[in-house]
Amino acid sequence: MTASHANQTSTSKGQVSLAELALVFLKLGTTAFGGPAAHIAMMEDEFVRKRQWITQAEFLDRLAAASLIPGPSSTEVAIFIGQSKRGWAGLLVGGVCFILPAGILVTLIAAVYARYGSLPQVAGILYGIKPAVIAIILQALWTLSRTAIKTKLHAVIGMIAVLLNAVGVAPLIVLAIAGIAACGAVRFKMQKSFMVSAPSFVQSGFLLGPAVAAMTIPVSLVRLFLSFLKIGAVVFGSGYVLLAFLRAEFIDHLHWITEKQLLDAIAVGQFTPGPVFTTATFIGYLVAGIPGAAVSTVGIFLPGFVLVASSGPLIPKLRQSALASAILDGVVAGSLALMAVVAWQLGRTAIVDWRTVIILSASAVLVLKFRVNSAWVIAGAALSGWFLH
């Protein structure tokens, strides 16, 4: 462990109450719009800068670990943070409270959808929220990069990660290359051989898939749970990657939903706050009502809890090894590069006219200069979008 990392770790605040942990994650789960990159930015604002519950170095390590395991990365960061503050109880409270608001909201939207066959009109709210989300992500990138980009090598790795992503290389492969590149540089200096093997907790996610696969059968809560358990254990990437898994399982294989219902389910996951994986909640409700929504939500998020619980204790140990620490630093640099790519992609669709430029500029001033909590910025942007659109 480096001296700077040790100093940062020693500055994080001590234990917090489970009630306070629950309230903070409930707030985030209610206000965290914009997808994983925005969620991570809001968590950095809340836990690193505002509450100082975790240092930037610790936050970046957990972000890197979440990027390397299957499941929703921002939810897994929330679980990591809960675990770091209160162990097993914090792990459960942090993760559940971040998921719960979105789960309830998506269930209500699914009930309206099942009755009327259409989604609520939210264009005005999204019109305002999207530019504000860009400002929040940029603020997080600026803050985190000052800790993550420790050397010129890390800056080069970040630029290479952006280029690899631009030419279509899968995010997980980009992160693997970033980690190996950083490790290779350290190994060259140390003049020692080093072999990199995939962690067993990553391999286990891929092995779970065939074990729960089944032929087309009638709707049942057990089958619904196993389907989402399998998806949660193997899926990496964005909501669009999730779309491919859901289509193969519930349209091509089980024939439980239609193409339109699937696209609407993905849309709900995108425009509601909290984890995008609550798309599962929507599909579960359409298939089997409230019980279906419950078992689907548990199924898709359960692997994330298990993987975080098993990998969390490894992070401090990795920092004690120079080579393993170098890999983690490389993955951190790659993760921030991918966040920057997401910000660029979102910006191209969010900044469409002078009104959105104003919302972006005002949001950037609020979060960068006046340090306004990102939840208030999101709320103000939503209200502005509603009036302006």
Q: What is the pLDDT of residues 47-66, one digit of tens each?
A: 999 999 999 999 999 999 98
Q: What is the mean pLDDT of residues 175-182?
A: 90
Report pLDDT for 204. 39
The pLDDT of residue 205 is above 90: no
What integer pLDDT is reported at residue 338 of this predicted model? 83
Q: What percent of the chain has pLDDT over 70?
A: 88
Average pLDDT score over residue span 175-202: 68
Residue 65 placed within a domain: yes
Q: Is residue 288 part of a domain?
A: no
**pLDDT beyond 90 at 299:** yes
State the pLDDT confidence band at 21, using cuts at 50, 70 and 90: very high
Provide the pLDDT for residue 308: 94
Lowest mean pLDDT among 180-184, 193-197, 273-277, 304-308: 193-197
What pLDDT does 300 receive? Answer: 95
Its pTM stands at 0.77
Residue 216: inside a domain:
no
Residue 234 lies in a domain: no
Of the candidate ranges 72-81, 184-193, 234-243, 275-284, the one whose mean pLDDT is the lowest? 234-243
Is residue 284 included in any domain, yes or no? no
Count up the domains in the chain and report the number: 1
Give 109: exposed, middle or buried? Use CB within 10 Å, 0-12, 13-18, 19+.
buried
Range 69-86 average pLDDT:
92
Over residues 157-185, mean pLDDT: 88
3-state helix, strand, coil split of the chain in percent (to 5) is 80, 0, 20
First to last CA, the chain: 51
Ramachandran quadrant class, 12 (left: phi over 0; alpha: psi -120 to 50; beta: rest) = beta
Predicted local distance difference test score (pLDDT) of residue 212: 39
In a domain, 37, yes or no: yes
Q: pLDDT-derived band of residue 236, with 50, 70 and 90 as boundaries?
A: low
Residue 77 lies in a domain: yes
Percent of the chain with pLDDT over 90: 42
Range of the domain at 78: 3-196+309-388
* Residue 290 counted as domain residue: no
Per residue in 254-268, pLDDT (tens digit) is 999 988 898 788 778
Nearest one of 349, 333, 325 to 164, comparing CA atoms = 333
**Quick check: 203 pLDDT over 90?**
no
Label residues 135-149 b or e (16+ Cβ within 10 Å = b).
bbbbbbbebbbebbb
| Distance of alpha carbon 133 from alpha carbon 141, whole angstroms | 12
Residue 196 has pLDDT above 80, yes or no: no
Contact 180, 330 (CB under 8 A): yes
Per-residue pLDDT of 124-144, as tens digits, reads: 877 888 888 788 888 888 888
